[in-house]
Structure formats: structure tokens, C-alpha cells
Structure 1
């Protein structure tokens, strides 16, 4: 699972110019995230034994992606609900 997170984050960094561009609507950037990066993150998930820890990691990685797409710095201390509201 950890290797999947790292690979997805590396791919996100490669696409950073597109995914963090404020001139592109958030809907299109989210769609690009779903099409290009989410499959890398979730590859092989059918074979995972689901525990609470394994369930939380993809969600935390998704929040990491959204915070960078919206350019929210980590010192802002925004709760996940507000980040999700901004992304929608």
C-alpha cells in the first residue's frame, strides 16, 4: 500500500502544472485526478485485506491531492470537510 501512495504522489508531481493550474476548473482537475492518478493509487485493491489503517491511507492520500490542487498550505489547519466543500 505504501508503494502505491508513493507512486501516485510521484505521478501527481509530474502532472502538477495541470492539476494546480487555477485557470482550469476544479471539476476538470478532479476528473484528471480520477483518470490518471486514482488508478495508480488503487491498483490491486481487490486483493488487499481491509483494516481500518489500510482504509484510511487512500483517503488521506486523496485529501493530500485535493489540498495541493486547491493550494491550501498545511499551516492553514483547515478540516477535511471544508476542503471537500471547496473541491465540490
Structure 2
């Protein structure tokens, strides 16, 4: 397999094909295990910055160029953002947990284990 970087720099491959390659080969590696992440504001910014870094690299825009993020996204037109894909994945996982009948994960998500104020053996 050729180097991924040389594939993205190739002028023989069209831009939509390169976008599909990034979505198929780069973003799944980034999203691995995302269902269990706790994402705060700083991580949201890092995810957005990484996505825009990928698109700028794909378009070969130098870091010194003064182009807005909106112009980059308009040129790429990715459809759904990386953060949107991650949220969709997390919601799908949550839906799978809620459809299970008796699972530890579902009980934990609903707060059934370790709840205070339950009547029980208190020695």
C-alpha cells in the first residue's frame, strides 16, 4: 500500500475521493472507543481543530494562509462533521445499551447500582 500522505498529495485523485478516504481511513482511527469518552469543552475544540487540520492538509493549504474555517468547509462540504459522527456513534451505543434486557451497563447508565437511600442490610 502506498503512503497515505502521498495519496492525498496526488493530483490524479479527485477531491471527493480524497474526502471519502479520510472518512474511511483516518476518522475511524480517531473515533475508536469514543462511546466511553467523557468529552469536555477542551476536547471538543481539539476534535474540531483536528478535523480542520485534516481538511487543510487535504487541500494543501499552508498554515500561514489566512483562510477561514468556513471557506475550507465550504470547499470540502463534508456533510457531517467529525464531532457529529462521534455524537451519532455515542447515541447508537446508548440505544443498544437501553435495548438490552438485563445488563450491567444498562443498570449503571440508569443509576441502579450504588444508589443511596436504598433499604437494605445495614448491619
TM-score computed with the length of structure 1 as normaliser = 0.78
Q: Which runs of 4+ in 1 moved over 6 A?
A: none
* Higher mean C-alpha displacement, 30-39 vs 54-63: 54-63
Match of 2:64, SS state, is: helix
Tell me, in whole angstroms, the C-alpha distance in 2 between the residues paired with 1:64 and 1:16: 13
Q: In 1, distance between residues paired with 2:55 and 2:9? A: 9
By percentage of residues, which structure has more helix?
A: 1
Aligned residues of 1:41 and 1:58 also touching (Cα < 8 A): no
TM-superposed deviation, 1:50: 1.8
TM-score (norm 2): 0.57
Partner of 1:83: 72
> Any unmatched runs of 5+ in structure 1?
1-13
Please give the root-mean-square deviation of Cα atoms over the aligned residues, in Å. Answer: 1.2
Distance 2:57 2:11 in 1: 11
Count residues in correspondence. Answer: 75
- Distance in 1, Cα, partners of 2:31 & 2:22: 12
Which sections of structure 2, spanning at least 5 residues, go unmatched? Answer: 78-123
**1:45 — aligned with what?**
34
- Higher RCO (CA < 8 A, seq sep 6+): 1
